[in-house]
DNA sequence: TAGCACATGTAATAAGTTACATGATTTT
DNA sequence: AAAATCATGTAACTTATTACATGTGCTA
């Protein structure tokens, strides 16, 4: 009924999702992101605090004043029913992915303007990063599978981790393919 | 020598790369992007025209006044030596990739707040998109391999296309894995 | 003559990061 | 006593998209 001026700010939805597990403060949201969705999502304090304020104004969350570990200031935000509904609606909407800018591919596309070995190094560096990522994802997978056995969220959390794994595996193969091409370019 | 206030604006570098193949107008740059790096890079007119102006101010390019197909206005920009050098330097610098926001994974991460079938549909849609992408990339690969046989840029252009293919293949496998998980979740 | 492709640019808006400003509490 | 962590928030800046404003020339 209220005039919605909302654009397509997924920041709200990300925070809605995080708050759906129980009330959190802005500071906790930031930390929680790093521990959970940090591999494919990020928010800065400059976004979090104003967004929290907006969410309260729109009736999606309410503040729960609360003292932290000591007498420290701490405002916890709890989802309202409106907030929970909004999350539910958003979840069923198709996910849109924008064309992400890929700087490595941009450089590679202009590769013939540079030294072959410099371009090769770019790919080698990428491969090393991907290998490290893969290892990290495998560790996360094993850890959460053990820690959250039986939890209804686990299958979904595993899917997100395995996405990272699948992407890394695919791109490591691509790196090897490129490295083969560089060998032929001698 | 001049005071460089430049941040990390890869927009300039993308345009430097495009101009390295010969002078282009702003309009042509936009079109060219769609025909070449459009699958992993994009620029809007709102970026292109002001950036072109900045590049001239920084001595990276110069204007070549020119009438277009008819008496239409058209300014073509040609790289200067400084521009070519700047491109060369940038190409050897390591590519940094930011954590891209992945809306599909964000939804999936909160999947247990929604209906299993809605989440399944999200993955099915993604798989369909990836399959279409894969087909498209294969067509591009075949086309450029035939069209630019022997061209020194070809190995690099193929690398960028094959990146898309490798990613799609990896993620299609991931989709199938997810679909298997959904079956088990019944 | 209407519509589309060509062509350039600006203004408004959106979305986000980084740096700044402030202060309490806990740990070393 | 210093440093790290907890905690909230704002201001300045950056980057990019979309809509607007304007006009030419070709084609159906």
Provide mean pLDDT across the span B61-68: 84
Within-domain flag for B68:
yes
DSSP state of B151: -
Within-domain flag for A53:
yes
From A34, A66, A92, give the residue that closes a domain.
A92
For residue range A142-152, what is the model confidence (pLDDT) as tens digits?
999 999 999 99
* Residues A38, A87 within the same domain: yes
* Residues A15, A71 within the same domain: yes
* Residues B34, B71 within the same domain: yes
Strand C within 7 A of A96 CB:
no
Question: Would the CB atoms of A88 and B119 count as touching at under 8 Å?
Answer: no
Please report, rounded to whole angstroms, the spatial distance between the CA atom of protein residue B163 and the C1' atom of nucleotide D4: 43
Asked if residue B170 has pLDDT above 70, the reply is: yes
d(CA B13, CA B168): 27
Within-domain flag for A98:
no
* Residues A107, A88 within the same domain: no
Q: Are A159 and A144 in contact (CB under 8 A)?
A: no
Question: Would the CB atoms of A153 and B112 count as touching at under 8 Å?
Answer: yes
Burial class (CB in 10 A: 0-12, 13-18, 19+), B161: buried
Within-domain flag for A148:
yes
* Residues B23, B84 within the same domain: yes
* Residues A68, A35 within the same domain: yes
pLDDT at position B99, please?
83
Within-domain flag for A24:
yes
Asked if residue A2 has pLDDT above 90, the reply is: no
* Domain hosting residue B144, numbered range: 103-184
Q: Which residues contact B165 (CB under 8 A, 6 or more apart)?
A: A174, B134, B137, B138, B141
* Residues A30, A87 within the same domain: yes
Question: Would the CB atoms of A118 and B92 count as touching at under 8 Å?
Answer: yes
Total domain count for chain A? 2
For residue range B5-30, what is the model confidence (pLDDT) as tens digits?
334 789 999 999 999 999 999 999 99
pLDDT at position B3, please?
30
Within-domain flag for B141:
yes
Within-domain flag for B97:
no
User: Which residue from B108, B158, B170 is facing A159, i.e. has the nearest CB?
Assistant: B108
* Residues A133, A84 within the same domain: no
Please report, rounded to whole angstroms, the spatial distance between the CA atom of protein residue A44 and the C1' atom of nucleotide C17: 7
For residue range A33-66, what is the model confidence (pLDDT) as tens digits?
999 999 999 999 999 999 999 999 999 999 997 7
Measuring from the CA of residue B72 to each C1' atom, give the nucleotide at the shortest distance: D24
What is chain A's mean pLDDT, rounded? 93
Strand D within 7 A of A8 CB:
no
Q: Are B105 and B129 in contact (CB under 8 A)?
A: no
For residue range A100-135, what is the model confidence (pLDDT) as tens digits?
899 999 999 999 999 999 999 999 999 999 999 999
* Residues A41, A83 within the same domain: yes
* Residues A118, A166 within the same domain: yes
Please report, rounded to whole angstroms, the spatial distance between the CA atom of protein residue A80 and the C1' atom of nucleotide C25: 31
Strand C within 7 A of A36 CB:
no
* Residues A88, A39 within the same domain: yes
Confidence of residue B2 (pLDDT cuts 50, 70, 90): very low
* Residues A30, A64 within the same domain: yes
Burial class (CB in 10 A: 0-12, 13-18, 19+), B118: middle
Measuring from the CA of residue B44 to each C1' atom, give the nucleotide at the shortest distance: D17
Within-domain flag for A34:
yes
From B92, B116, B148, give the residue that closes a domain.
B92
From A33, A63, A92, give the residue that closes a domain.
A92
Could you give the dihedral angle defined by the CA atoms of residues B145, B150, B151 and B155, in that order, rounded to the nearest 10 degrees? 60
CATH number of domain containing B36 = 1.10.10.10
Strand C within 7 A of B8 CB:
no
């Amino acid at each position: 009924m209220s005039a919605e001026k909302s654009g397509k700010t997924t920041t709200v939805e990300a925070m809605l999702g995080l708050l759906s597990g129980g009330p959190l403060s802005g500071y906790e949201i930031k930390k929680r992101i790093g521990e959970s969705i940090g591999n494919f999502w990020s928010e800065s304090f400059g976004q979090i605090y104003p967004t929290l304020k907006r969410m309260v104004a729109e009736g999606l969350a309410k503040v729960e004043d609360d003292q932290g570990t000591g007498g420290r200031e701490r405002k916890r935000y709890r989802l309202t029913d409106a907030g929970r509904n909004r999350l539910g609606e958003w979840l069923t909407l198709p996910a849109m992915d924008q064309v992400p800018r890929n700087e490595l591919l941009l450089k590679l596309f202009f590769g013939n303007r540079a030294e072959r070995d410099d371009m090769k190094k770019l790919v080698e560096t990428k491969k090393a990063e991907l290998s490290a990522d893969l290892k990290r994802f495998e560790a996360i997978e094993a850890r959460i599978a053990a820690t959250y056995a039986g939890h209804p969220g686990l299958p979904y959390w595993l899917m997100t981790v395995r996405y990272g794994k699948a992407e890394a595996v695919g791109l490591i193969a691509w790196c090897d393919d490129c490295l083969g091409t560089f060998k032929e370019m001698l």
